[in-house]
């Protein structure tokens, strides 16, 4: 997680990018916890299914934001909705909540997925309890959508950005360690 991402030419490029994201999310003090991972970081993929493929024009930029406060606030909002609807949830609401449980259990979540309307168009009950989460999701979406107009580095606007929010760096490391172990196993079995 340390060191300059391959996509950048200088440490100043990295710092400017981190400050842009953290300021847009309202957590300017956490700039050092905005991390580029994946092939934009290393210059090649470490995904066990596409390993060693180079970072290309069509590659995404994978971004991690580590912030315990943002994570915990989202978790508290989801928990309040969980308790409120516990006895009267529809199957669709249970499925939606189970997917959120899996994310939170892993110490990460995808704010763009925390929407009030599931892919099937079913409204969740008591949406007012999820308004803070919806506002944050909109801010998250707007922040990463703004990278299409990022003017400080020519590579950034050319790529789609995928971002996850993690509670701690340890959660990030654990997630990536699983992928590296899987990659190692595949490489050793192909010898």
Question: Burial letters for 98-120: b for 16+ Cβ neighbours within 10 Å, e otherwise?
Answer: eebeebbeebbbebeebbeeeee
The C-alpha atoms of residue 155 and residue 102 are separated, in whole angstroms, by 33
Q: What is the pLDDT of residue 152?
A: 92
∠139-113-26 over CA atoms, to 5°? Answer: 20
Percent of the chain with pLDDT over 90: 57
Residue-wise pLDDT for 110-132, tens only, equals 886 444 454 444 466 666 777 88
Residue 42, strand partner residues: none
Number of structural domains (the chain) is: 1
Span 180-184, average pLDDT: 90
Task: Tell me the pLDDT band of 90, cut-offs 50, 70 and 90.
Answer: confident
The C-alpha atoms of residue 161 and residue 20 are separated, in whole angstroms, by 14
pTM for this model (two decimals): 0.87
Contacts 24+ apart (CB under 8 A), 130-137: 130/77, 130/78, 130/81, 132/73, 132/77, 133/74, 133/77, 133/78, 136/70, 136/73, 136/74, 136/111, 137/111, 137/112
Task: State the burial class of residue 89 (Cβ atoms within 10 Å of its Cβ: 0-12, 13-18, 19+).
Answer: middle
Neighbours of 74 (CB within 10 A): 23
pLDDT winner (highest mean) among 51-65, 97-111, 127-141: 51-65
Show the DSSP H helices in the chain as ranges. 11-24, 39-42, 68-85, 91-105, 131-145, 169-189
Range of the domain at 55: 1-191
């Amino acid at each position: 997680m340390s060191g300059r991402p391959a996509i950048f030419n200088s440490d100043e490029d990295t710092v400017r990018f981190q400050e842009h994201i953290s300021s847009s999310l309202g957590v300017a003090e956490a700039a050092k916890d905005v991390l580029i991972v994946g092939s934009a970081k290393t210059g090649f993929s470490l995904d066990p299914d596409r390993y060693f493929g180079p970072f290309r024009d069509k590659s995404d930029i994978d971004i991690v934001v580590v912030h315990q406060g943002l994570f915990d606030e989202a978790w508290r909002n989801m928990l309040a909705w969980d308790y409120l609807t516990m006895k009267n949830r529809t199957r669709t609401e249970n499925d939606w909540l189970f997917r959120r449980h899996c994310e939170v259990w892993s110490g990460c979540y995808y704010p763009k997925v925390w929407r009030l309307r599931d892919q099937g168009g079913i409204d969740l009950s008591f949406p007012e309890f999820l308004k803070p989460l919806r506002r944050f999701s909109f801010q998250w979406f707007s922040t990463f959508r703004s990278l299409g107009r990022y003017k400080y580095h020519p590579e950034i606007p050319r790529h789609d950005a995928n971002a996850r929010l993690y509670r701690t760096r340890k959660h990030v490391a654990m997630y990536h360690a699983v992928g590296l172990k899987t990659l190692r196993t595949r490489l050793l079995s192909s010898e």
